[in-house]
Amino acid sequence: MSEIVVKAPQGHIEVKNFSLSYDSIEGPVEAVTDTQIHVKPGEFVSIVGPSGCGKSTLLNAVAGFLKPTTGIVTVDGEKVNGPSAERGMVFQQYSLFPWKTVRENVEFGLKMRGMPRSQRERAARTLLGLAGLEAFEKHYPEKLSGGMKQRVGIVRALATGPKVLLLDEPFGALDAQTRVIMQQILTNMWQRLKISVLFVTHDIDEAIFLSDRVYCMTARPGSIKAEIPIPLERPRQQSMMMSSEFLALRRGLMSLIREESIKAMGGELNDMGMQGLNIELHGHSLADVI
């Protein structure tokens, strides 16, 4: 285990006065506007928001794939200028290299850092063991299930010991049971490695269950509508999802998102119409119905 260096708390993400517009034929499309977020060292922060509100855009800017139109993204005070191994990323689409075995995938970042073969083999084995994947180290990704692929993706992103881990709806394509297991695994790894996590999802339960804090975004152009601390104690159990505390948080977030989803789907629904919906749905969330 000596290869996995537990660093002093670092990985402080700050996004200030951020906006980002895409160029298109009709002129600039403002995807994210006037946004400030931050993640403290070792904190687990989620971003939720309606579809198309700019969650991926924001995350890709933190990763360094996109340049902000205005504002600045920093990690530990250093400006983000492009992708780097300091910021590990897990994508919604499976992004393992099909031509590398599971272990070679995990080793890739270490190889880029110039770590000698025997050392990185050992490090990769240790990490795969943590995720319960040691039996699959010689398999090619094609032969793995979706959940296993994403687990390898997370392990691969963590192998280089990044300061922060960015995840863009990593469990979106998984079935409900696998999702729950993956959430547990991610929590375990996060607690062991004491790394900052910025997690994008549109699953409210997932956001509450995993996070220390949740940002809720408005419909496009996205900005931060609310910031909700999640005071649930850790370690968290699946059973907590039935607790009144959890349900209260869920209700609060749900109504925030509902407003924005309706805006995103068709601005013509006015407040009166929304209240009508509220009464009719009675206890069900709009998200459930859709």
Ligand X SMILES: Nc1ncnc2c1ncn2[C@@H]1O[C@H](COP(=O)(O)OP(=O)(O)OP(=O)(O)O)[C@@H](O)[C@H]1O
What is the DSSP annotation of 117-147? HHHHHHHHHHHHHHTT-GGGTTS-GGGS-HH
x-marked contacts with another protein along 161-200 as a string, rule CB under 8 A: ----------------------------------------
137 close to 84: Cβ distance less than 8 angstroms: no
With CB under 6 A, what is the number of residues at the site for ligand X?
Answer: 14
Token pair for residue 258?
A: 């509902």
For residue 211, the minimal CB distance to Mg ion (Å) is 18
Residue sitting closest to ligand X (CB): 56
Name residues contacting ligand X, limited to 190-249 (CB under 6 A). 202, 220
Stretch that binds ligand X, among 21-29, 101-109, 159-167, 188-196 (CB under 6 A): 21-29
Q: Beginning with the edge strand found earlier in the chain, give each strand of the sheet holding 29-39 in spatial order.
A: 29-39, 13-22, 70-75, 78-79
For residue 131, the minimal CB distance to another protein (Å) is 17
User: Of the candidates 89, 136, 131, which has an alpha carbon nearest to the alpha carbon of residue 109?
Assistant: 89
For residue 93, the minimal CB distance to another protein (Å) is 5
Contact call for residue 11 and another protein (CB under 8 A): no
201 close to 211: Cβ distance less than 8 angstroms: no
In whole angstroms, what is the distance from residue 267 CA to residue 278 CA? Answer: 17
Stretch that binds ligand X, among 53-61, 66-74, 120-128, 236-244 (CB under 6 A): 53-61
137 close to 102: Cβ distance less than 8 angstroms: yes
Nearer to another protein by C-beta: 145 or 270?
Answer: 145
Token pair for residue 241?
A: 């999802």
For residue 11, the minimal CB distance to ligand X (Å) is 22
Contact call for residue 93 and another protein (CB under 8 A): yes
Contact call for residue 67 and ligand X (CB under 6 A): no
Helix (H, G, I), strand (E, B) or coil at 229: strand
Contact call for residue 52 and ligand X (CB under 6 A): yes
In whole angstroms, what is the distance from residue 62 CA to residue 115 CA? Answer: 26
Chain centre to alpha carbon of residue 280: 33
Four-point Cα dihedral 242, 171, 91, 251, nearest 10: -30
Among 140, 173, 174, 212, contact with another protein (rule: CB under 8 A): 140
Q: Beginning with the edge strand found earlier in the chain, give each strand of the sheet holding 87-90 in spatial order.
A: 87-90, 164-168, 196-200, 44-48, 213-217, 224-229
For residue 147, the minimal CB distance to ligand X (Å) is 20
Residue 276 site contact among Mg ion, another protein, ligand X, none (CB < 5 to 8 Å, cut-off depends on kind): none
Contact call for residue 26 and another protein (CB under 8 A): no
x-marked contacts with another protein along 42-81 as a string, rule CB under 8 A: ---------------------xxx----------------
List contacts with another protein (CB under 8 A). 63-65, 82-85, 87-89, 91, 93, 95-101, 108-109, 112-113, 140, 142, 156-157, 160
